[in-house]
Amino acid sequence: MYDERVIEKIRGIWKTFDLSLGIPEIDKQHLWLIGILADLEDKLESGTRSELEVTFTNALSKTLDYATEHFALEEKLLESIGYSKLGQHRLQHMRFITALRNRVRKSFEGDFENAVLDLLKNLKKWLFRHILSEDRQYVDAAMVHVDDKLTDWMQRHLHASNYADEIEKLYQTVLFSGKQEVSLEFKKLGEENLKLISDLWYRYKLKTGIAIVDIQHLWLLQLLVKTDKLYKQRLKQEIDAESLSVQLKEAIYETIEYIREHFNTEESIMHHFHYIGEKNHQKQHERFNILINDMIERSEKEELESLAILIQDLKDWLVSHIAIEDKKLFYFFRSRLSEVNEYVRNLNKEGKIHIWKDAVSIYKLLVDYEDITEDKRPKSLRRN
């Protein structure tokens, strides 16, 4: 069983991203995958090379076992309820198993840390894309058609697992134990804020694949969520109106300044690497500045109703811009991402951009494990 630190991490992921489908047998298996991921990440951050090798081998074995058991159970469930997208769902399962088996066959000699990071990346990708997107699509149909006979079969299938006792213990500990603490990173960033950010991030598929751009986008979403929350508090007069007005203005200015810094970062990258759509992208940034100036003016005048509309417009514009225009950046830069990251490291060293630690934390929780600012691997894994 995992130690308390890992349990708190698992609980934070489960609660923050609202991963429960309401089908206990499926939820238990999903939670088991989160446990593998959280434990592997914890060992990567704090363990020695030898400890990590053992954890990594166990994680691969458990993940393959998990995939076989879970997919058999889930596909039987979907077949029983006559799910129309079963073929597509099954194909995704097959691809995931194939990718894992290929990973097992590879030799990790001299490239062990990258193998661990790669597994973490694939597990996280599966966790958030498949569970939050694909699996949620069958929940309503399952709730209508699952009967006692099918539930009994799923329970027997789960009990037959070699990990049945561990799976059940983890499920009970995370969901029903008296202690319901989450790890510090979730407390600091705020479970509710992370949930709102992740909802926008995954619902609109905002990942561009360029680390610095994704980090800044997530931080902008965080600032917008904070600003929107302060506006609603101000509207309801939940705390001292004068004090809250000051906080709201500060939040608006912080958001605006960061938007400008983000635009400068994007434009610097585009210009340095001769992006073919640079001028058009820059024009869109200029048009957005009109919204920003209007926001400043209305916040000064405290026109709350107009300000609310502007905050929503700003969020809508940002989501639309990321989902359409910024993704074009990835297709242009995808063969040169290492060069882009190196360029960004230099910008950061020169103080031309700021990469906040909390922004990287959000990125690592939601997206990836690649840190573009410095080598975060354990010292025991770094090459001299």
CATH number of the domain that residue 178 is part of: 1.20.120.50
Percent of the chain whose pLDDT exceeds 70? 88
Q: Say whether both 208 and 244 belong to one domain.
A: yes
The answer to whether position 211 is within a domain reads yes
Residue 39 makes CB contacts below 8 A (sequence gap 6+) with 2, 6, 55, 59
pLDDT in tens, 51-68: 777 778 788 888 888 788
Give the H/E segment covering residue 115: helix 112-126
Radius of gyration of the chain (CA): 23
Q: Which of 151, 157, 194, 160 is nearest to 18 (CA)?
A: 194
Q: Is the pLDDT of residue 301 over 80?
A: no
242 pLDDT band, cuts 50/70/90, is: low
DSSP collapsed to 3 states, 195-253: HHHHHHHHHCCCCCCCHHHHHHHHHHHHHHHHHHHHHHHHHHCCCCHHHHHHHHHHHHH
108 pLDDT band, cuts 50/70/90, is: low
Q: Which of 74, 89, 171 is nearest to 130 (CA)?
A: 89
The amino acid occupying position 251 is A
On whether the CB atoms of residues 196 and 185 are closer than 8 A, the answer is no
pLDDT of residue 371: 62
Arithmetic mean of pLDDT, 209-219: 91
Q: What is the residue range of 314's domain? A: 192-367
Q: Which of 379, 368, 376 is nearest to 37 (CA)?
A: 368
Q: Say whether both 201 and 171 belong to one domain.
A: no
pLDDT in tens, 256-281: 888 889 999 999 999 999 999 999 99
Angle between helices 86-105 and 49-80 (to 10 degrees): 160
109 pLDDT band, cuts 50/70/90, is: low
Q: Say whether both 224 and 356 belong to one domain.
A: yes
Q: How far apart are the first and last CA of the chain?
A: 35
303 pLDDT band, cuts 50/70/90, is: low
The answer to whether position 377 is within a domain reads no
Q: Say whether both 349 and 236 belong to one domain.
A: yes
Arithmetic mean of pLDDT, 309-323: 82
Q: Say whether both 83 and 167 belong to one domain.
A: yes
Decide: helix, strand or coil at residue 355. coil
pLDDT of residue 380: 44
Task: Kindly state the DSSP code that residue 277 receives in the 8-state scheme.
Answer: T
pLDDT of residue 129: 75
- The last residue of a domain, from among 182, 217, 246: 182
The answer to whether position 375 is within a domain reads no
Residue 384 or residue 103, greater confidence: 103
Q: Say whether both 218 and 121 belong to one domain.
A: no
Q: Say whether both 23 and 126 belong to one domain.
A: yes
pLDDT in tens, 85-99: 999 999 988 888 888
The answer to whether position 383 is within a domain reads no
d(CA 197, CA 221): 6
Q: Which of 31, 30, 25, 14 is nearest to 146 (CA)?
A: 25
Furthest CA-CA distance within the chain: 66
pLDDT of residue 382: 46
The DSSP string of 151-190 is HHHHHHHHHTSTTHHHHHHHHHHHHHSS-----HHHHHH-
The answer to whether position 241 is within a domain reads yes
Q: Which of 124-133, 279-288, 340-349, 353-362 is the least confident region?
A: 124-133
Q: Which two tokens stand for residue 72?
A: 């058999």
pLDDT in tens, 13-24: 888 888 889 999
The amino acid occupying position 304 is L
Arithmetic mean of pLDDT, 20-44: 88
Give the H/E segment covering residue 79: helix 49-80
Q: Is the pLDDT of residue 374 over 60?
A: no
The answer to whether position 373 is within a domain reads no
317 pLDDT band, cuts 50/70/90, is: confident
d(CA 56, CA 37): 10
Q: Say whether both 95 and 216 belong to one domain.
A: no
The answer to whether position 378 is within a domain reads no
Vertex 318 angle, CA 312 and 320, to 5°: 100
Q: Say whether both 177 and 211 belong to one domain.
A: no
The answer to whether position 380 is within a domain reads no
Q: Is the pLDDT of residue 70 over 70?
A: yes
Domains held by the chain: number? 2
Q: Which of 27-41, 309-323, 338-352 is the least confident region?
A: 309-323
Residue 39 or residue 378, greater confidence: 39
Arithmetic mean of pLDDT, 316-334: 88
Phi-psi region of 59 (alpha: psi -120 to 50; beta: other; left: phi over 0): alpha
Arithmetic mean of pLDDT, 121-135: 78
Arithmetic mean of pLDDT, 187-207: 82
pLDDT of residue 167: 92
Q: Say whether both 288 and 238 belong to one domain.
A: yes
Q: Say whether both 57 and 177 belong to one domain.
A: yes
Q: Say whether both 178 and 275 belong to one domain.
A: no
